[in-house]
Amino acid sequence: MKRFLTTLSLLAVNLLSASECCCQPDDYSFYIKVGSGISCSESAQVTAPSPPWDLAIQGYNSTLGNCAIASFAVGCELFDMLDLEVSISNRSIFKYRKFQTSTDGDGSYTREFDLNVTPIFFSAILLGRDIPFCNWNIGCGSLYPIIGAGVGVSNLLITNYRTTGLPPNGNSSPFESFSAENQYTVRRNFTYKVHIGLEYNHNDRWAIATGYNWFDAGRFKGPRYQRVTSGSAVDVANDAWKMRFRSNEWFVEFKIFI
């Protein structure tokens, strides 16, 4: 009986040990991530065929300004070396404002639209945690470089597209009128990004990262269907504006392991 109890006890200890090993994998861990930052757009490279678009002394090209970033991601960290994640973020609202003077003496006006950019990315991020001379122990964690890239699709929402500051026209008198109006247009474009930065990991419980991000949503067309000064609806077809979206960004992200 004593020998049986001893054997049973050893078996129980072995089973508990095996259970602990199965419940504590060391090769991967899942996480959720939230982030913010600022996106600084580059030139929109707007081109407008003439005709039908009027030539202007100042041209059509302009930047879209800067705006805040909000992001959310879920991912998996593999072997303390690689993060694989899917993310969604929003950059809103960029503003295009271009004052123009017609080359044929028809006066001055302002072309304008707003742009909201919402991409979904699949990203891979290399971590410097286990690379010699590329990590530094600080407190209960470590600091190391990160470098990554992502591909995905951006939802590009163009709103408030119009030409303002035109002379009174018809029933608008004595107030200024507007033309080339379109309330909203949605485009979807292939998008990629690359980024580099630093991340601090606190005992595999949470991590915080900051760095630089290059974002490119490619070229896309502006609204095709518009309402002009007379009130008529117009299909500009292949004469729609062509533009692009690129930006330099600073980001900060907070990651929690689950």
d(CA 169, CA 148): 54
Average pLDDT, the chain: 88
Q: Residue 166 — pLDDT band, cuts 50, 70, 90?
A: confident
Q: Domain of 226?
A: 26-257
User: Is residue 87 a part of any domain in this protein?
Assistant: yes
Task: Indicate the pTM of the whole model.
Answer: 0.82
Q: Does residue 113 carry a pLDDT above 90?
A: yes
- Number of independent structural domains in the chain: 1
CATH number of residue 231's parent domain: 2.40.160.20
Of residues 23 and 220, more confidence is placed in: 220
Q: Does residue 174 carry a pLDDT above 50?
A: yes
Fill in the DSSP letter of residue 168: P
Q: Residue 16 — pLDDT band, cuts 50, 70, 90?
A: very low
Task: Report the candidate in 180, 187, 186 with the shortest Cα–Cα distance to residue 220.
Answer: 187
The residue written with tokens 């009130």 in the block is 231
Task: Tell me if 118 sits within 8 A of 154, measured CB to CB.
Answer: yes
User: Is residue 14 a part of any domain in this protein?
Assistant: no
For the ranges 18-22, 73-77, 194-198, the lowest mean pLDDT is seen at 18-22
User: Is residue 77 a part of any domain in this protein?
Assistant: yes
Angle at 219 between CA 51 and CA 217, to 5 degrees: 155
User: Is residue 95 a part of any domain in this protein?
Assistant: yes
For the ranges 29-38, 48-57, 112-121, 241-250, the lowest mean pLDDT is seen at 48-57
Q: Residue 6 — pLDDT band, cuts 50, 70, 90?
A: low
User: Is residue 12 a part of any domain in this protein?
Assistant: no
User: Is residue 6 a part of any domain in this protein?
Assistant: no
Of residues 64 and 18, more confidence is placed in: 64
pLDDT at 183: 87
User: Is residue 20 a part of any domain in this protein?
Assistant: no
User: Is residue 31 a part of any domain in this protein?
Assistant: yes
- State whether residue 23 is helix, strand or coil: helix
